[in-house]
Amino acid sequence: MSNIPDPMLEAETLLRARNVPFRRATRYQIKIGSKLSYFPHKGTIFVDREPRARSSTGLAALGTVLRELGHLPRAASTSPRHRLSPTPSINVDIMSLDVPADPGASTDQLDRPR
């Protein structure tokens, strides 16, 4: 197996780790929901019915669009009510986490902030 990262496998690993339903529409395209397409090799993001691709690209931009479209929870509010919550929370940008080079490797490392 090659040590060259495969952008398709990286994207699929992150989506699976966060329980985001998707399907591989082609060997170049991941379809998320009914209106979001991600092309991992170029990082291009298309939202159906928008006139062109989003200007931001890559996994971090995908995370932003996933939150925008409701596929991922939004970042926690900074209101005092939330700051005083008895349950502490850790906010991590899921799309910036490392992905194992081996697609068969455990995704446990994706759940721990660095």
Longest dimension (CA), the chain: 50
Confidence of residue 1 (pLDDT cuts 50, 70, 90): low
Query: Which of these, 91, 104, 84, 114, lies nearest to 13 by C-alpha position?
Result: 104
Can you give the pTM of this predicted structure? 0.64
Other beta carbons within 10 Å of 109: 13
Task: Please report, for residues 38, 72, 80, 100, the alpha-carbon distance to residue 44 in angstroms, rounded to integers and kept in the order given.
Answer: 6, 19, 37, 22
Question: How do residues 25-78 score in pLDDT, each as one tens digit?
Answer: 999 999 999 999 999 999 999 999 999 999 999 999 999 999 999 998 876 544
Question: How do residues 62-75 score in pLDDT, each as one tens digit?
Answer: 999 999 999 988 76
Tokens read off for 107: 């995704």
Radius of gyration of the chain (CA): 15
| Kind and range of the H or E run holding 16 | helix 7-17
How far is residue 58's CA from residue 95's CA, in Å, rounded to a whole number? 9
